[in-house]
Chains A and B, each alone.
Chain A
Amino acid sequence: MTDPVVQVAGLRYRYPDGTLALDGVDFRLEKGETVAVLGPNGSGKSTFVLHLNGLLQGEGTVSVCGMRIGHETLTPVRRKVGLVFQDPDEQLFMPSVLEDVAFGLLNSGLKPEEALPKARHFLRLVGMDHAGEKAPYHLSGGEKQRVAIAGVLAMQPEILVLDEPTTFLDPPGQRDLLALLRSLPQAMIVVTHNTLFAESLAARAVFFERGKIVGEGTPRELLDCFNWSLPGPSRGQPPPAAGSSGQSRL
Protein backbone atom coordinates (compact mmCIF):
# COMPACT_ATOMS: atom_id res chain seq x y z
CA MET A 1 0.00 0.00 0.00
CA THR A 2 1.37 3.43 -1.00
CA ASP A 3 1.52 6.43 1.30
CA PRO A 4 -1.65 8.52 1.38
CA VAL A 5 -1.50 11.94 -0.35
CA VAL A 6 -3.43 13.52 2.50
CA GLN A 7 -3.29 12.36 6.08
CA VAL A 8 -5.10 14.15 8.89
CA ALA A 9 -4.81 13.05 12.52
CA GLY A 10 -6.59 14.39 15.60
CA LEU A 11 -7.40 17.76 14.02
CA ARG A 12 -9.14 20.19 16.37
CA TYR A 13 -9.94 23.82 15.63
CA ARG A 14 -11.68 26.49 17.65
CA TYR A 15 -12.71 29.78 16.04
CA PRO A 16 -11.62 33.01 17.78
CA ASP A 17 -15.22 33.49 18.98
CA GLY A 18 -14.99 30.21 20.90
CA THR A 19 -16.98 27.91 18.59
CA LEU A 20 -15.41 24.47 18.40
CA ALA A 21 -15.54 23.77 14.67
CA LEU A 22 -13.42 20.62 14.43
CA ASP A 23 -13.26 18.14 17.29
CA GLY A 24 -10.76 15.42 16.47
CA VAL A 25 -10.84 14.61 12.75
CA ASP A 26 -8.90 11.67 11.29
CA PHE A 27 -8.84 11.34 7.53
CA ARG A 28 -6.84 9.68 4.71
CA LEU A 29 -6.88 10.25 0.99
CA GLU A 30 -5.09 7.81 -1.33
CA LYS A 31 -3.44 8.76 -4.61
CA GLY A 32 -5.99 9.14 -7.40
CA GLU A 33 -8.94 8.60 -5.07
CA THR A 34 -12.12 10.73 -4.98
CA VAL A 35 -13.86 11.23 -1.64
CA ALA A 36 -17.15 13.04 -1.09
CA VAL A 37 -17.56 15.00 2.14
CA LEU A 38 -21.17 15.13 3.32
CA GLY A 39 -22.84 16.58 6.39
CA PRO A 40 -25.16 19.28 7.67
CA ASN A 41 -24.46 23.01 7.50
CA GLY A 42 -22.11 24.09 10.23
CA SER A 43 -20.76 20.60 10.82
CA GLY A 44 -17.18 21.69 10.07
CA LYS A 45 -16.81 20.63 6.43
CA SER A 46 -15.64 23.99 5.14
CA THR A 47 -13.40 24.55 8.16
CA PHE A 48 -11.86 21.15 7.44
CA VAL A 49 -11.23 22.12 3.82
CA LEU A 50 -9.43 25.32 4.87
CA HIS A 51 -6.97 23.20 6.86
CA LEU A 52 -5.93 21.19 3.82
CA ASN A 53 -3.66 23.93 2.49
CA GLY A 54 -2.89 25.70 5.70
CA LEU A 55 -5.34 28.61 5.43
CA LEU A 56 -6.34 27.60 8.95
CA GLN A 57 -4.04 25.72 11.27
CA GLY A 58 -5.49 23.89 14.28
CA GLU A 59 -4.20 21.35 16.77
CA GLY A 60 -3.27 17.93 15.40
CA THR A 61 -1.45 17.15 12.20
CA VAL A 62 -2.25 17.60 8.54
CA SER A 63 0.24 16.10 6.07
CA VAL A 64 0.16 16.53 2.30
CA CYS A 65 2.37 14.30 0.13
CA GLY A 66 4.48 13.53 3.15
CA MET A 67 4.92 17.20 4.19
CA ARG A 68 3.50 18.19 7.54
CA ILE A 69 1.76 21.57 7.15
CA GLY A 70 3.54 24.29 9.07
CA HIS A 71 4.89 27.73 8.44
CA GLU A 72 7.85 26.53 6.34
CA THR A 73 5.88 24.13 4.15
CA LEU A 74 3.02 26.52 3.23
CA THR A 75 4.35 27.41 -0.22
CA PRO A 76 5.01 23.83 -1.44
CA VAL A 77 1.76 22.58 0.15
CA ARG A 78 -0.31 25.23 -1.62
CA ARG A 79 1.18 24.10 -4.93
CA LYS A 80 0.19 20.48 -4.20
CA VAL A 81 -3.37 21.26 -3.05
CA GLY A 82 -5.69 23.15 -5.38
CA LEU A 83 -8.71 24.65 -3.62
CA VAL A 84 -11.84 25.50 -5.61
CA PHE A 85 -14.26 27.57 -3.56
CA GLN A 86 -18.03 27.59 -3.56
CA ASP A 87 -18.57 31.02 -5.09
CA PRO A 88 -16.49 31.40 -8.25
CA ASP A 89 -16.91 35.18 -8.02
CA GLU A 90 -14.66 35.10 -4.98
CA GLN A 91 -12.07 33.14 -6.88
CA LEU A 92 -12.00 35.14 -10.11
CA PHE A 93 -10.61 38.42 -8.94
CA MET A 94 -8.49 39.53 -11.87
CA PRO A 95 -9.82 41.79 -14.63
CA SER A 96 -9.79 39.17 -17.38
CA VAL A 97 -10.18 35.41 -17.54
CA LEU A 98 -6.69 34.85 -18.92
CA GLU A 99 -5.05 37.00 -16.25
CA ASP A 100 -6.96 35.10 -13.61
CA VAL A 101 -5.76 31.72 -14.82
CA ALA A 102 -2.21 33.09 -15.01
CA PHE A 103 -2.36 34.54 -11.47
CA GLY A 104 -1.04 31.42 -9.74
CA LEU A 105 1.56 30.82 -12.45
CA LEU A 106 2.98 34.31 -12.02
CA ASN A 107 3.05 33.82 -8.25
CA SER A 108 5.09 30.67 -8.70
CA GLY A 109 7.74 32.76 -10.44
CA LEU A 110 6.99 32.26 -14.13
CA LYS A 111 7.56 35.16 -16.50
CA PRO A 112 4.53 36.52 -18.38
CA GLU A 113 5.71 35.04 -21.67
CA GLU A 114 5.90 31.59 -20.06
CA ALA A 115 2.69 31.94 -18.06
CA LEU A 116 0.46 33.01 -20.96
CA PRO A 117 0.74 29.86 -23.13
CA LYS A 118 0.27 27.70 -20.04
CA ALA A 119 -2.82 29.64 -18.99
CA ARG A 120 -4.22 29.24 -22.51
CA HIS A 121 -3.56 25.50 -22.36
CA PHE A 122 -5.55 25.08 -19.16
CA LEU A 123 -8.39 27.24 -20.46
CA ARG A 124 -8.57 24.88 -23.45
CA LEU A 125 -8.62 21.92 -21.07
CA VAL A 126 -11.81 23.18 -19.41
CA GLY A 127 -13.30 24.26 -22.75
CA MET A 128 -13.06 28.01 -22.12
CA ASP A 129 -10.31 29.00 -24.57
CA HIS A 130 -12.70 31.33 -26.41
CA ALA A 131 -13.19 33.53 -23.32
CA GLY A 132 -9.61 34.51 -22.48
CA GLU A 133 -10.05 38.24 -22.95
CA LYS A 134 -13.48 38.43 -21.30
CA ALA A 135 -14.11 40.01 -17.92
CA PRO A 136 -15.38 37.49 -15.34
CA TYR A 137 -18.74 39.23 -14.89
CA HIS A 138 -19.66 38.47 -18.49
CA LEU A 139 -19.57 34.72 -17.81
CA SER A 140 -22.38 32.40 -16.69
CA GLY A 141 -22.13 30.53 -13.38
CA GLY A 142 -20.91 27.37 -15.07
CA GLU A 143 -18.35 29.21 -17.14
CA LYS A 144 -17.03 30.99 -14.04
CA GLN A 145 -16.70 27.65 -12.25
CA ARG A 146 -14.73 26.23 -15.20
CA VAL A 147 -12.37 29.19 -15.25
CA ALA A 148 -11.88 28.89 -11.48
CA ILE A 149 -10.96 25.23 -11.94
CA ALA A 150 -8.59 26.12 -14.79
CA GLY A 151 -6.87 28.63 -12.52
CA VAL A 152 -6.35 25.94 -9.90
CA LEU A 153 -5.33 23.25 -12.41
CA ALA A 154 -2.74 25.60 -13.87
CA MET A 155 -0.80 25.18 -10.63
CA GLN A 156 -0.64 21.44 -11.50
CA PRO A 157 -1.72 20.28 -8.04
CA GLU A 158 -1.76 16.64 -6.99
CA ILE A 159 -4.90 17.05 -4.93
CA LEU A 160 -8.02 18.96 -5.92
CA VAL A 161 -10.38 20.14 -3.17
CA LEU A 162 -13.78 21.47 -4.22
CA ASP A 163 -16.11 23.16 -1.71
CA GLU A 164 -19.74 22.96 -2.89
CA PRO A 165 -18.85 23.24 -6.58
CA THR A 166 -22.43 22.78 -7.82
CA THR A 167 -24.13 25.56 -5.82
CA PHE A 168 -24.31 28.04 -8.70
CA LEU A 169 -24.75 25.49 -11.52
CA ASP A 170 -27.89 24.34 -13.33
CA PRO A 171 -28.24 20.60 -14.06
CA PRO A 172 -26.49 20.76 -17.48
CA GLY A 173 -23.72 22.76 -15.84
CA GLN A 174 -23.45 20.11 -13.12
CA ARG A 175 -23.28 17.40 -15.79
CA ASP A 176 -20.45 19.22 -17.60
CA LEU A 177 -18.58 19.71 -14.34
CA LEU A 178 -18.96 16.02 -13.52
CA ALA A 179 -17.52 15.04 -16.92
CA LEU A 180 -14.63 17.47 -16.45
CA LEU A 181 -13.77 16.23 -12.97
CA ARG A 182 -13.97 12.58 -14.03
CA SER A 183 -11.44 13.28 -16.79
CA LEU A 184 -8.86 14.64 -14.33
CA PRO A 185 -6.14 12.42 -12.87
CA GLN A 186 -5.89 14.21 -9.50
CA ALA A 187 -7.01 12.85 -6.15
CA MET A 188 -10.13 14.78 -5.13
CA ILE A 189 -12.05 15.83 -2.08
CA VAL A 190 -15.51 17.15 -2.92
CA VAL A 191 -17.65 18.82 -0.26
CA THR A 192 -21.25 18.77 -1.42
CA HIS A 193 -24.91 18.76 -0.46
CA ASN A 194 -25.69 17.43 -3.92
CA THR A 195 -26.27 13.73 -3.30
CA LEU A 196 -26.57 12.75 -6.96
CA PHE A 197 -23.32 14.53 -7.72
CA ALA A 198 -21.56 12.77 -4.82
CA GLU A 199 -22.82 9.38 -5.91
CA SER A 200 -21.76 9.88 -9.53
CA LEU A 201 -18.29 11.14 -8.69
CA ALA A 202 -16.99 9.42 -5.57
CA ALA A 203 -16.54 5.80 -4.58
CA ARG A 204 -16.01 6.71 -0.94
CA ALA A 205 -17.61 9.32 1.31
CA VAL A 206 -17.28 10.61 4.85
CA PHE A 207 -20.05 12.20 6.92
CA PHE A 208 -19.34 15.17 9.21
CA GLU A 209 -21.40 16.01 12.26
CA ARG A 210 -20.50 18.50 15.00
CA GLY A 211 -16.88 18.74 13.94
CA LYS A 212 -16.28 14.99 13.71
CA ILE A 213 -16.35 12.34 11.02
CA VAL A 214 -19.21 10.14 12.20
CA GLY A 215 -19.57 7.82 9.22
CA GLU A 216 -17.61 6.44 6.32
CA GLY A 217 -18.59 4.25 3.38
CA THR A 218 -19.91 4.52 -0.14
CA PRO A 219 -21.99 7.64 -0.75
CA ARG A 220 -25.13 5.47 -1.06
CA GLU A 221 -24.56 3.81 2.29
CA LEU A 222 -24.07 7.15 4.03
CA LEU A 223 -27.08 8.76 2.34
CA ASP A 224 -29.27 5.92 3.56
CA CYS A 225 -27.70 5.71 6.99
CA PHE A 226 -28.07 9.43 7.71
CA ASN A 227 -31.34 9.89 5.86
CA TRP A 228 -29.52 12.39 3.65
CA SER A 229 -31.68 12.77 0.54
CA LEU A 230 -35.01 14.23 -0.50
CA PRO A 231 -37.97 11.86 -0.57
CA GLY A 232 -38.07 10.86 -4.23
CA PRO A 233 -41.50 10.97 -5.86
CA SER A 234 -41.04 7.42 -7.18
CA ARG A 235 -40.72 5.91 -3.73
CA GLY A 236 -44.22 7.00 -2.76
CA GLN A 237 -43.57 6.52 0.94
CA PRO A 238 -42.27 8.68 3.77
CA PRO A 239 -38.53 8.47 4.35
CA PRO A 240 -37.55 5.86 6.94
CA ALA A 241 -36.54 7.11 10.35
CA ALA A 242 -32.77 7.19 10.62
CA GLY A 243 -30.37 6.41 13.42
CA SER A 244 -28.68 9.76 13.53
CA SER A 245 -30.22 13.11 12.94
CA GLY A 246 -28.58 15.70 10.74
CA GLN A 247 -29.14 18.61 13.05
CA SER A 248 -28.08 22.01 11.84
CA ARG A 249 -26.11 24.16 14.19
CA LEU A 250 -26.65 27.50 12.53
Chain B
Amino acid sequence: MHHVVLERWSRGTSIIHRRDPRAKIIALVAFLAAVATTPDSCAPFRLPAYAALPLAAILAARLPLGGVAARAAVVLPFCGVFVVFSLVAGETQRAAALLEKSYLSALAALAVAATTPVARFLAGLEALGAPRFLLWVIQFLHRYLFVTSEQAQHMRQAAASRGAGGGFRFRSWRLRAASSAIAVLFARSYRRAEATYRAMLSRGFQGRIQLLYELSPDWGDALLVVLGIAVSIGLRVAMVLPA
Protein backbone atom coordinates (compact mmCIF):
# COMPACT_ATOMS: atom_id res chain seq x y z
CA MET B 1 0.00 0.00 0.00
CA HIS B 2 1.07 3.53 -0.75
CA HIS B 3 1.80 4.82 2.72
CA VAL B 4 3.76 1.69 3.63
CA VAL B 5 6.27 2.45 0.87
CA LEU B 6 6.46 6.06 1.98
CA GLU B 7 6.97 4.99 5.57
CA ARG B 8 9.85 2.73 4.56
CA TRP B 9 11.49 5.56 2.63
CA SER B 10 11.03 7.94 5.53
CA ARG B 11 13.03 5.75 7.89
CA GLY B 12 16.33 6.29 6.07
CA THR B 13 19.34 7.91 7.71
CA SER B 14 20.64 10.26 5.00
CA ILE B 15 21.70 13.84 5.56
CA ILE B 16 18.19 14.95 4.51
CA HIS B 17 16.42 12.42 6.73
CA ARG B 18 18.34 13.65 9.76
CA ARG B 19 17.32 17.28 9.35
CA ASP B 20 14.98 18.89 11.84
CA PRO B 21 11.41 18.55 10.50
CA ARG B 22 10.85 22.27 11.00
CA ALA B 23 13.76 23.12 8.68
CA LYS B 24 12.30 20.87 5.99
CA ILE B 25 8.81 22.30 6.39
CA ILE B 26 10.09 25.89 6.15
CA ALA B 27 12.21 25.11 3.08
CA LEU B 28 9.24 23.31 1.48
CA VAL B 29 6.89 26.23 2.07
CA ALA B 30 9.45 28.68 0.66
CA PHE B 31 9.79 26.56 -2.46
CA LEU B 32 6.04 26.07 -2.89
CA ALA B 33 5.46 29.80 -2.42
CA ALA B 34 8.04 30.59 -5.11
CA VAL B 35 6.31 28.21 -7.52
CA ALA B 36 2.86 29.47 -6.61
CA THR B 37 3.76 33.11 -7.20
CA THR B 38 5.33 32.38 -10.59
CA PRO B 39 2.98 33.80 -13.22
CA ASP B 40 1.40 31.31 -15.62
CA SER B 41 2.58 33.53 -18.47
CA CYS B 42 6.17 32.60 -17.63
CA ALA B 43 7.98 30.80 -20.44
CA PRO B 44 7.15 27.09 -20.08
CA PHE B 45 10.73 26.00 -20.81
CA ARG B 46 12.02 27.95 -17.80
CA LEU B 47 9.76 26.34 -15.20
CA PRO B 48 11.57 22.96 -15.18
CA ALA B 49 14.55 24.75 -13.59
CA TYR B 50 12.59 24.61 -10.34
CA ALA B 51 13.10 20.84 -10.34
CA ALA B 52 16.72 21.44 -9.27
CA LEU B 53 15.76 21.84 -5.61
CA PRO B 54 13.52 18.77 -5.12
CA LEU B 55 15.83 16.64 -7.27
CA ALA B 56 18.84 17.66 -5.19
CA ALA B 57 16.95 16.71 -2.03
CA ILE B 58 15.80 13.37 -3.46
CA LEU B 59 19.33 12.47 -4.58
CA ALA B 60 20.91 13.57 -1.30
CA ALA B 61 18.33 11.47 0.54
CA ARG B 62 19.26 8.47 -1.67
CA LEU B 63 15.61 7.85 -2.56
CA PRO B 64 14.84 5.93 -5.76
CA LEU B 65 14.41 8.76 -8.27
CA GLY B 66 12.14 6.79 -10.59
CA GLY B 67 9.87 5.70 -7.78
CA VAL B 68 9.51 9.22 -6.38
CA ALA B 69 8.95 10.73 -9.84
CA ALA B 70 6.25 8.17 -10.58
CA ARG B 71 4.57 8.74 -7.24
CA ALA B 72 4.42 12.49 -7.77
CA ALA B 73 2.41 11.76 -10.92
CA VAL B 74 -0.73 11.26 -8.79
CA VAL B 75 -1.49 14.94 -9.50
CA LEU B 76 -1.71 14.33 -13.24
CA PRO B 77 -5.35 13.13 -13.48
CA PHE B 78 -6.59 16.32 -11.79
CA CYS B 79 -4.24 18.42 -13.92
CA GLY B 80 -5.39 16.63 -17.02
CA VAL B 81 -8.93 17.94 -16.65
CA PHE B 82 -7.82 21.55 -16.38
CA VAL B 83 -5.15 21.19 -19.03
CA VAL B 84 -7.96 20.16 -21.37
CA PHE B 85 -10.02 23.12 -20.16
CA SER B 86 -7.10 25.48 -20.89
CA LEU B 87 -6.44 23.97 -24.30
CA VAL B 88 -10.10 24.25 -25.25
CA ALA B 89 -9.95 27.89 -24.17
CA GLY B 90 -6.91 28.30 -26.39
CA GLU B 91 -4.45 29.03 -23.56
CA THR B 92 -1.63 26.64 -24.42
CA GLN B 93 0.93 28.37 -22.26
CA ARG B 94 -1.30 28.23 -19.20
CA ALA B 95 -1.94 24.55 -19.78
CA ALA B 96 1.81 23.90 -19.75
CA ALA B 97 2.31 26.08 -16.67
CA LEU B 98 -0.43 24.33 -14.66
CA LEU B 99 1.01 20.94 -15.52
CA GLU B 100 4.59 21.89 -14.67
CA LYS B 101 3.81 23.87 -11.51
CA SER B 102 1.60 21.22 -9.96
CA TYR B 103 3.99 18.38 -10.76
CA LEU B 104 7.01 20.26 -9.40
CA SER B 105 5.10 21.15 -6.22
CA ALA B 106 4.06 17.54 -5.69
CA LEU B 107 7.66 16.43 -6.23
CA ALA B 108 8.89 18.83 -3.54
CA ALA B 109 6.16 17.83 -1.07
CA LEU B 110 7.01 14.20 -1.68
CA ALA B 111 10.73 14.84 -1.13
CA VAL B 112 9.88 16.08 2.37
CA ALA B 113 7.21 13.46 3.14
CA ALA B 114 9.50 10.65 2.03
CA THR B 115 12.34 11.77 4.33
CA THR B 116 10.33 12.58 7.47
CA PRO B 117 8.48 9.94 9.53
CA VAL B 118 4.93 11.09 10.27
CA ALA B 119 5.54 11.33 14.03
CA ARG B 120 8.51 13.66 13.50
CA PHE B 121 6.58 15.66 10.93
CA LEU B 122 3.82 16.19 13.49
CA ALA B 123 6.36 17.11 16.19
CA GLY B 124 7.73 19.72 13.78
CA LEU B 125 4.27 21.10 13.07
CA GLU B 126 3.58 21.31 16.79
CA ALA B 127 6.80 23.23 17.36
CA LEU B 128 5.69 25.58 14.57
CA GLY B 129 2.44 26.28 16.42
CA ALA B 130 -0.19 23.96 14.91
CA PRO B 131 -3.00 23.04 17.37
CA ARG B 132 -1.93 20.01 19.44
CA PHE B 133 -5.37 18.49 19.42
CA LEU B 134 -5.56 18.43 15.62
CA LEU B 135 -2.08 16.88 15.44
CA TRP B 136 -3.11 14.09 17.80
CA VAL B 137 -6.20 13.42 15.70
CA ILE B 138 -3.92 13.17 12.66
CA GLN B 139 -1.62 10.83 14.53
CA PHE B 140 -4.46 8.48 15.51
CA LEU B 141 -5.90 8.67 12.01
CA HIS B 142 -2.57 7.66 10.51
CA ARG B 143 -2.15 4.85 13.05
CA TYR B 144 -5.53 3.27 12.30
CA LEU B 145 -5.62 3.96 8.57
CA PHE B 146 -4.17 0.61 7.68
CA VAL B 147 -6.18 -1.37 10.24
CA THR B 148 -9.52 0.11 9.16
CA SER B 149 -8.72 -0.08 5.45
CA GLU B 150 -7.98 -3.76 5.89
CA GLN B 151 -11.40 -4.22 7.47
CA ALA B 152 -13.02 -2.44 4.54
CA GLN B 153 -11.03 -4.65 2.17
CA HIS B 154 -12.30 -7.80 3.92
CA MET B 155 -15.87 -6.53 3.71
CA ARG B 156 -15.45 -5.82 0.02
CA GLN B 157 -14.14 -9.33 -0.56
CA ALA B 158 -17.03 -10.79 1.41
CA ALA B 159 -19.48 -8.80 -0.69
CA ALA B 160 -17.75 -9.78 -3.92
CA SER B 161 -17.76 -13.46 -2.98
CA ARG B 162 -21.52 -13.21 -2.64
CA GLY B 163 -21.78 -11.86 -6.15
CA ALA B 164 -21.88 -8.13 -5.49
CA GLY B 165 -18.98 -7.23 -7.77
CA GLY B 166 -19.01 -6.38 -11.46
CA GLY B 167 -21.92 -5.11 -13.43
CA PHE B 168 -22.31 -1.73 -15.00
CA ARG B 169 -25.85 -0.71 -14.22
CA PHE B 170 -27.05 1.27 -11.33
CA ARG B 171 -29.07 -0.79 -8.91
CA SER B 172 -30.63 0.57 -5.77
CA TRP B 173 -30.00 -2.59 -3.74
CA ARG B 174 -26.29 -2.16 -4.36
CA LEU B 175 -26.46 1.31 -2.93
CA ARG B 176 -28.25 -0.13 0.10
CA ALA B 177 -25.63 -2.84 0.46
CA ALA B 178 -22.85 -0.27 0.33
CA SER B 179 -24.69 1.87 2.89
CA SER B 180 -25.06 -0.92 5.40
CA ALA B 181 -21.44 -1.98 4.88
CA ILE B 182 -20.38 1.56 5.70
CA ALA B 183 -22.66 1.61 8.74
CA VAL B 184 -21.11 -1.61 10.06
CA LEU B 185 -17.65 -0.16 9.48
CA PHE B 186 -18.71 2.96 11.36
CA ALA B 187 -19.94 0.99 14.36
CA ARG B 188 -16.77 -1.11 14.45
CA SER B 189 -14.57 1.97 14.25
CA TYR B 190 -16.53 3.59 17.03
CA ARG B 191 -16.04 0.54 19.24
CA ARG B 192 -12.36 0.49 18.37
CA ALA B 193 -12.02 4.11 19.38
CA GLU B 194 -13.68 3.38 22.72
CA ALA B 195 -11.43 0.39 23.30
CA THR B 196 -8.35 2.43 22.45
CA TYR B 197 -9.41 5.13 24.84
CA ARG B 198 -9.91 2.51 27.58
CA ALA B 199 -6.41 1.17 26.89
CA MET B 200 -5.06 4.70 27.25
CA LEU B 201 -6.88 5.25 30.54
CA SER B 202 -5.58 1.92 31.82
CA ARG B 203 -2.06 3.18 31.34
CA GLY B 204 -2.56 6.32 33.34
CA PHE B 205 -3.71 8.73 30.60
CA GLN B 206 -4.94 11.92 32.24
CA GLY B 207 -5.83 14.12 29.30
CA ARG B 208 -2.51 15.15 27.86
CA ILE B 209 -0.27 13.06 25.65
CA GLN B 210 3.43 13.52 26.28
CA LEU B 211 5.97 13.80 23.50
CA LEU B 212 8.94 11.49 23.64
CA TYR B 213 11.30 13.13 21.21
CA GLU B 214 12.68 16.59 21.70
CA LEU B 215 13.68 18.46 18.58
CA SER B 216 17.21 19.87 18.63
CA PRO B 217 18.12 21.92 15.55
CA ASP B 218 21.78 22.23 14.54
CA TRP B 219 23.83 24.16 11.97
CA GLY B 220 22.86 21.75 9.22
CA ASP B 221 19.22 22.64 9.78
CA ALA B 222 19.97 26.34 9.65
CA LEU B 223 21.89 25.80 6.43
CA LEU B 224 18.94 23.90 4.93
CA VAL B 225 16.57 26.75 5.76
CA VAL B 226 18.91 29.40 4.33
CA LEU B 227 19.66 27.37 1.19
CA GLY B 228 16.00 26.44 0.68
CA ILE B 229 14.85 30.05 0.88
CA ALA B 230 17.77 31.52 -1.09
CA VAL B 231 17.53 29.01 -3.95
CA SER B 232 13.75 29.35 -4.09
CA ILE B 233 13.97 33.14 -4.37
CA GLY B 234 16.83 32.88 -6.85
CA LEU B 235 14.86 30.54 -9.11
CA ARG B 236 11.76 32.68 -8.73
CA VAL B 237 13.60 35.80 -9.86
CA ALA B 238 15.26 33.91 -12.73
CA MET B 239 11.80 32.95 -14.01
CA VAL B 240 10.89 36.53 -14.86
CA LEU B 241 14.29 37.93 -15.92
CA PRO B 242 14.19 39.18 -19.49
CA ALA B 243 15.68 36.63 -21.85
Contact = CB atoms under 8 A, between A and B. Distances in A.
Q: Do any beta carbons of A and B sit within 8 angstroms of each other in the complex?
A: yes
Interface of A: 50, 53, 55, 75, 78-79, 81-83, 85, 87, 89-91, 93-96, 98-99, 102-104, 106-108, 112, 115-116, 133, 135-137, 151-152, 155
Contact of A89 (B11, B139, B147): B147
A135 to B, nearest CB: 6
A129 B221 CA distance: 30
A85 B194 CA distance: 12
A151 B119 CA distance: 19
A99 B210 CA distance: 10
Interface in B134-190: 139-140, 142-144, 146-147
- By CB atoms of chain B within 10 A, which of A82, A90, A96, A155 has the most? A90
B117 A78 contact: no
B204 interface: yes
- In the complex, the 3 A-B pairs of residues with the closest C-beta atoms, listed nearest first: A104-B203, A106-B210, A107-B204
A50 B195 CA distance: 11
B43 to A, nearest CB: 44
A155 B144 CA distance: 25
Nearest to A119: B212
Contact of A96 (B119, B195, B203, B205): B119
Contacts of B142: 95
A94 B117 CA distance: 13
Nearest to A161: B202
B17 to A, nearest CB: 13
A85 B147 CA distance: 16
Contacts of B214: 112
B143 A95 contact: yes
Contacts of B210: 103, 106-107, 112
Interface string B200-219: 11111110011111100000
Contact of B212 (A53, A87, A99): A99
A93 B196 contact: yes
A83 to B, nearest CB: 4
B3 to A, nearest CB: 10
17 contacts: A83-B198, A87-B192, A89-B192, A93-B143, A93-B196, A93-B200, A95-B117, A95-B139, A95-B143, A98-B212, A99-B212, A104-B204, A107-B206, A136-B143, A137-B143, A152-B203, A155-B203
Contact of A55 (B118, B147, B201): B201
A142 to B, nearest CB: 17
Interface residues of B, number: 31
Contacts of A104: 203-204
B237 interface: no
Nearest to A83: B202
B199 interface: yes
Contact of B202 (A53, A94, A95, A133): A53
A95 B198 contact: no
Given A85-B195, A87-B195, A95-B119, A78 B203 contact: yes
B203 A50 contact: no
Contacts of B213: 112
B126 interface: no
Contacts of B139: 95
Nearest to B191: A90
- By CB atoms of chain A within 10 A, which of B117, B143, B196, B204 has the most? B204
B202 A137 contact: no
Contact of B192 (A90, A95, A137): A90
B7 interface: yes
B198 A85 contact: yes
Interface in B103-142: 117-119, 139-140, 142
B194 to A, nearest CB: 9
- By CB atoms of chain B within 10 A, which of A81, A89, A96, A112 has the most? A89
Contact of A91 (B7, B144, B199, B205): B199
A78 B201 contact: yes
A136 B204 CA distance: 20
Contact of B203 (A90, A133, A151): A151
Interface in B4-52: 4, 7, 11
